[in-house]
């Protein structure tokens, strides 16, 4: 191909990538705004939805398989500083430990008490993940602002490329090929890159003060993390550090390969 035509083709590819990325960010921003607008007044009035299992402080017997990414230590510290402000207002809620923070790549099946039929097919799940993660390159996620629902608070994540959602689609197809779609996207079709950081387990002590702290962080810059690897984990609903078991680690590069998790 002549150089001038190659340059034109490269420019076209760059413009298309920027267009898709801008469209992706707009869609994600709209989703976060929709969540915020639909919940902040309820939180301000203290009309939250309490997680009954957390309220009873019972052990979670639900288990699932998830592909996830962990934020860098600096992001964990930044988020924990924000959570400390919320703890000072209301220490009774369920606050995620820094080591539990994560962005879900895809839940292979949603955590359930009836997990044995799914886990018995672990090798097929592992093969699907391995095939889907053979090519994705590293990517970054910018964490800016908070959003919420009536039962949880989330940090807003914005990927710097379309790699994450492309990987999700590739993984969905790999699961479909192996007839592993039961429990996939059971709650909703995941398209954002948020981190859940708080769940409600008790009526709010000072709902208006709590809501004001959230408003003050609506556009807060928590930092940016580079995602160099993804983990396949066995988990409970809350990604509790005492429960999560890393089954495989996948380094992201032009030729991603799995690594067995080191012994605990």
Residue 42 and residue 151 in contact, taking contact as beta carbons nearer than 8 Å: no
Q: What is the pTM of this model?
A: 0.87
pLDDT digits (tens, 9 = 90+) for 157-210: 999 999 999 999 999 999 999 999 887 865 667 889 999 999 999 999 999 999
Which residues of the chain are under the pLDDT cut of 70? 1-21, 185-188, 254-264
Every domain of the chain and the residues it spans: 3-260
pLDDT digits (tens, 9 = 90+) for 107-125: 999 999 999 999 999 999 9
Q: At what angle do helices 3-44 and 207-216 cross, to 10 degrees?
A: 160
Single out the residue of 36, 35, 28, 31 nearest to residue 211, CA to CA: 36
Q: How far apart are the first and last CA of the chain?
A: 53
What integer pLDDT is reported at residue 256 of this predicted model?
Answer: 45
What integer pLDDT is reported at residue 207 of this predicted model?
Answer: 98
Best CATH choice for the domain 3-260 from the list 3.20.20.70, 3.40.50.2000, 3.10.560.10, 3.90.1140.10: 3.90.1140.10
What integer pLDDT is reported at residue 16 of this predicted model?
Answer: 52
What integer pLDDT is reported at residue 176 of this predicted model?
Answer: 92
What integer pLDDT is reported at residue 187 of this predicted model?
Answer: 60
């Amino acid at each position: 191909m002549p150089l001038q035509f190659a340059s034109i083709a490269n420019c076209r590819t760059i413009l298309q990538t920027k267009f898709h990325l801008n469209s992706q960010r707009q869609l994600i921003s709209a989703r976060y705004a929709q969540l915020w607008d639909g919940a902040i007044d309820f939180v301000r009035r203290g009309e939250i939805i309490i997680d009954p299992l957390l309220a009873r402080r019972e052990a979670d017997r639900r288990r699932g398989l998830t592909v996830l990414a962990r934020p860098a230590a600096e992001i964990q510290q930044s988020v924990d500083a924000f959570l400390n402000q919320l703890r000072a207002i209301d220490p009774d809620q369920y606050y995620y430990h820094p080591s539990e923070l994560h962005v879900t790549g895809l839940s292979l099946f949603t955590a359930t008490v009836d997990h044995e039929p799914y886990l018995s097919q672990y090798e097929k799940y592992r093969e699907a993940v391995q095939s889907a993660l053979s090519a994705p390159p590293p990517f970054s996620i910018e964490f800016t602002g908070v959003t919420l629902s009536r039962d949880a608070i989330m940090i807003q994540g914005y990927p710097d490329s379309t790699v994450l959602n492309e990987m999700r689609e590739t993984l969905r197809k790999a699961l479909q090929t192996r007839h592993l779609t039961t429990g996939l996207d059971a709650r909703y079709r995941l398209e954002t890159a948020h981190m859940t950081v708080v769940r409600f387990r008790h009526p709010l002590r000072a709902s208006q003060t709590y809501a004001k702290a959230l408003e003050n962080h609506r556009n807060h810059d928590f930092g940016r993390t580079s995602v160099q690897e993804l983990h396949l984990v066995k988990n409970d609903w809350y990604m509790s550090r005492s429960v999560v078991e890393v089954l495989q680690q996948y380094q992201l590069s032009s030729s991603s390969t799995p690594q067995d998790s080191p012994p605990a």
